[in-house]
Structure 1
């Protein structure tokens, strides 16, 4: 599933919620009443641990360095995770998570926070300096949070080496896991994930097939063909209601930036950077960006782009896409063709990427797959038993553990067949598959690793959900461009980036709107580039290039 768009954070939070959050983080790491909680100093157990006579496993006091249980007497970890909106804590009933507690003797005190209030509560926690033992999920703390507060988070390199054989093996098999997790100081503070059965493509071109059929048209393959199709959608009443209400293309707040893909503009990271001929390029000053905007201006000038594109919000756009009387939108870019059109979803189909003026097709995505994530688990310096937390986290880095924490438990959401394959069960009546997965699992969040070999055993329905995305992925995966990598920045760079990007990005967006709606890009181009340079663009590009070079040098 495409990672969900973050909900708007509330600007304030009640005193009760703040006190509750502080009360939790001040609790620290707890143990059973007999005081056996592993290492109470936060240090790793001695390497000279003796073998226990009854289990044959290397142990230090209550802690077992290998095998299960992880501890002989129960230890409780306080684990905080953030969920979208009001999703709640139903995922904790996942059979895998419940069995993990029994098998490891590690009890989890879940603190489930809502993304609606998290921004304020996060600030309170960081200000207090007291955090829970473990933070799970990449929407809790981002790169800059960790870099700017690194004293609160444990470097995990030694723990991975000593206590996390599953993750260590995964990193050897998929080196990208280590690259995306290594911070600018060379240390790993957060654990990564590789999600199962992810596509290579991001949003793909989607067109109203019913309109094409009615007008006797074929799906467009080039920008010229797309222009002709959009023109026909505008002028020939394809929805058949006798009104000139068709919107060949529509978006909210800006043009659909995917419209620039035929010109080689793909921006997976949303930072105006792309990789061209193996080198990072800042595309808003490139020739292909200029030519792409000329083409989009032509579409806008002829009414082939919704005139309210730059003024409407997502609520207004959704109302148009799901207009109850007739389908109104002809062409867009979406994760799957059924994503946004409500009752009209069956009219839409995904098509292959549109070829640009150079005859080439460019599809936004990642040739390595949209599988890799970082910041999925942090062990804080408040935790007194980090070795226990590390071994607990390592239990998530197997194929079966990962799919159960992405879709739901085997026996409920997943069926394991006698031939070693796995299939997803149908959700309960009246429930969407995606909602069911989020309800019963950690879904996108938390540590996971599904190897390419294990993925071969996962059988998905190609007509819906994740299986549908993999099916339509075949249309564009060979055209996926290499994106600017998911780099990290130093503390100094994080200080400079917002100062530079706030003004620069705003100027680029406002200028783009002017050029699309009124034209004049040739006359204004040189002054535009000069203004960007005066605003500090060379300094911004250097930050991106330095981060890129650091990333490339990680071994």
Structure 2
């Protein structure tokens, strides 16, 4: 055991040294400067390809989820881009598993690579609190990025979400292709309904009756009372509370009522939703481990090997969750609430818009080259190849002008294949709304299936409190407020759902929220919302 421990310790030491060495090589030893960039040189071409007559190398940092690695670099479009532009990319690929610590080291050092690629690398707060590291891009866009300029004119929301409090753009946006308007939608075990002779529930009273039947009438026919009518998340996601008019796209407890930002955990709608949920919990109709289970426990229930045991949930698509029982489940329209209306979390303009997908740092000596390189991503064909995979590998370009996604290799899921073959969600891209009609997706799985079931809830999607941008001063103040308030709301929600007493404790709860600074929190978010909506 001692020998094994020593071996492991040495391996960890070597790994740590290699990791630090990799990061040191990445950030380099040049000093950050806010001075004018060095001259690009006579080899730079303002238009056409190649971008530069003399080869230039750019260091590009990106972060990938978990252990995804760098297989995307084999994408044929990316390889051709290097040849046609004469710009070689030195990709620095980090794992999200340990990026947090490495990011802190990089920001503390003040030295960065030429380009930051993907919105997972730096958050709004990281950027706003370190603006001297990143170049304002407005002039570069105007002079060197005609593809992006055309995209911003066609979809002005992209400029709006990417404009920082000082009125400048420090990061580039993206519009992903073929995205839905809905997020998680209600999913029910249709096989159970059929066995019990029940109709798809239309409103919360119907849903309560269905839950009772699921619990009491052994719909999975295994002779065991193991059915869980509802399992999912009331602790993290508010989707289960949608029938009460509560939607929370960005998970910040904010929503819009009559175009006014509202902290919904302090509303009467929220109180009524909690009372209804407690009733379900007290009768055993909701997973009794709702507030204690982790993702592993939740997945084990969804994919229980002997029989399906979950009756209802909120999911992106059923076939991504329920394993071999996926065919028993069906997505249904939103459940109507007490007011007879239906509410669905999402965004009426689509879930396609992103910001912070590419930043050019003040460490870069070739910002014009970096800008022209980034602009190559903002065409329809470039974007679909960087979201799914290259034409000829993942996408079939047909003579009629359509683009059909091929089937993944045997034993590989479509989504996993796309992440392997492309930068997928990350990085700059733009697919025009008019171009999307040329994309052919498999409607039985993945992205295609989501677009099909999206139609069930799209007309009920509420306008969300947007992903607003905060100033450096606001970012300094927000954590102090949200840490206490969010923790208090989360703890109280769990107690009320499991033990009740929301009516008796409501006034004291509101008083405590106010003492924690709720009014100031809403004020900050309202000011940010006003800035966001006033951006031209």
Task: State how far apart, in whole Å, the 2-side matches of 1:269 and 1:255 are.
Answer: 11
CA contact (8 A) 1:28 1:133 kept: no
CA contact (8 A) 2:474 2:524 kept: yes
Find the counterpart in structure 1 of residue 246 from structure 2.
Answer: 265
Find the counterpart in structure 2 of residue 8 from structure 1.
Answer: none
CA contact (8 A) 1:408 1:414 kept: yes
Query: Which secondary structure does the structure 2 equivalent of 1:456 belong to?
Result: helix
CA deviation vs aligned residue, 1:170-196 (integer Å, no higher than 9, x gap): 001000100000001111000000000
Residue 248 (structure 1) aligned with residue 229 (structure 2): yes
Task: State how far apart, in whole Å, the 2-side matches of 1:163 and 1:328 are.
Answer: 57
Find the counterpart in structure 2 of residue 42 from structure 1.
Answer: 37
Task: State how far apart, in whole Å, the 2-side matches of 1:15 and 1:375 are.
Answer: 30
Task: State how far apart, in whole Å, the 2-side matches of 1:542 and 1:395 are.
Answer: 41
Task: State how far apart, in whole Å, the 1-side matches of 2:285 and 2:195 are.
Answer: 19
Query: Which secondary structure does the structure 2 equivalent of 1:14 belong to?
Result: helix
Find the counterpart in structure 1 of residue 120 from structure 2.
Answer: 139
- What is the Cα deviation at residue 416 of structure 1? 0.7
Work out which of the residue numbers 14, 25, 28 in structure 2 matches 1:26: 28
Find the counterpart in structure 1 of residue 468 from structure 2.
Answer: 487
Task: State how far apart, in whole Å, the 1-side matches of 2:489 and 2:72 are.
Answer: 42
- What is the Cα deviation at residue 42 of structure 1? 1.4
CA deviation vs aligned residue, 1:500-543 (integer Å, no higher than 9, x gap): 11110010011111111111111111100000000010110001
Residue 355 (structure 1) aligned with residue 350 (structure 2): no
Task: State how far apart, in whole Å, the 1-side matches of 2:138 and 2:29 are.
Answer: 26
Alignment of 1:399-418 (within 5 A): 399-418=380-399
Task: State how far apart, in whole Å, the 1-side matches of 2:434 and 2:44 are.
Answer: 33
Work out which of the residue numbers 365, 377, 380 in structure 2 matches 1:384: 365
Residue 519 (structure 1) aligned with residue 521 (structure 2): no
Find the counterpart in structure 1 of residue 323 from structure 2.
Answer: 342
Find the counterpart in structure 1 of residue 141 from structure 2.
Answer: 160
Q: 1:256 to 1:232 in 2, by over 3 A?
A: farther
CA contact (8 A) 1:253 1:312 kept: no
- What is the Cα deviation at residue 460 of structure 1? 0.9
Residue 471 (structure 1) aligned with residue 471 (structure 2): no
Find the counterpart in structure 1 of residue 60 from structure 2.
Answer: 79
Q: 1:256 to 1:297 in 2, by over 3 A?
A: farther
- What is the Cα deviation at residue 251 of structure 1? 2.8
Find the counterpart in structure 1 of residue 80 from structure 2.
Answer: 99
Find the counterpart in structure 2 of residue 170 from structure 1.
Answer: 151
Query: Which secondary structure does the structure 2 equivalent of 1:64 belong to?
Result: coil
CA deviation vs aligned residue, 1:193-247 (integer Å, no higher than 9, x gap): 0000000000000000110000000111100100100110000000001011100
CA deviation vs aligned residue, 1:320-339 (integer Å, no higher than 9, x gap): 11111111100000000112
What is the Cα-based RMSD across aligned positions, in Å? Answer: 1.5
Find the counterpart in structure 2 of residue 419 from structure 1.
Answer: 400
Work out which of the residue numbers 266, 269, 288 in structure 2 matches 1:285: 266
Find the counterpart in structure 1 of residue 12 from structure 2.
Answer: none
Task: State how far apart, in whole Å, the 2-side matches of 1:253 and 1:515 are.
Answer: 12
CA contact (8 A) 1:77 1:108 kept: yes
CA contact (8 A) 1:199 1:473 kept: yes
Alignment of 1:159-238 (within 5 A): 159-238=140-219
Work out which of the residue numbers 280, 287, 294 in structure 2 matches 1:306: 287
CA contact (8 A) 1:252 1:311 kept: no
- What is the Cα deviation at residue 343 of structure 1? 1.1
CA contact (8 A) 2:119 2:426 kept: yes
Task: State how far apart, in whole Å, the 2-side matches of 1:63 and 1:491 are.
Answer: 36
CA deviation vs aligned residue, 1:351-389 (integer Å, no higher than 9, x gap): 000000000000000001000000000100110000000
Task: State how far apart, in whole Å, the 2-side matches of 1:256 and 1:506 are.
Answer: 15
Structure 2 residues not aligned, in runs of 5+: 1-14
- What is the Cα deviation at residue 302 of structure 1? 0.8
- What is the Cα deviation at residue 25 of structure 1? 1.5
CA deviation vs aligned residue, 1:147-191 (integer Å, no higher than 9, x gap): 001100000000000000000110010001000000011110000
Query: Which secondary structure does the structure 2 equivalent of 1:16 belong to?
Result: helix
User: Would you tell me which structure has more helix in proportion to its own residues?
Assistant: 2
Aligned length: 520
Query: Which secondary structure does the structure 1 equivalent of 2:381 belong to?
Result: helix
CA deviation vs aligned residue, 1:240-297 (integer Å, no higher than 9, x gap): 0101110001136837621110000000011111111122111111111111111101
Task: State how far apart, in whole Å, the 2-side matches of 1:415 and 1:177 are.
Answer: 29
Q: 1:526 to 1:396 in 2, by over 3 A?
A: same
Work out which of the residue numbers 270, 276, 297 in structure 1 matches 2:257: 276
Q: Could you tell me the TM-score, scaled by structure 1's length?
A: 0.92
- What is the Cα deviation at residue 43 of structure 1? 5.2
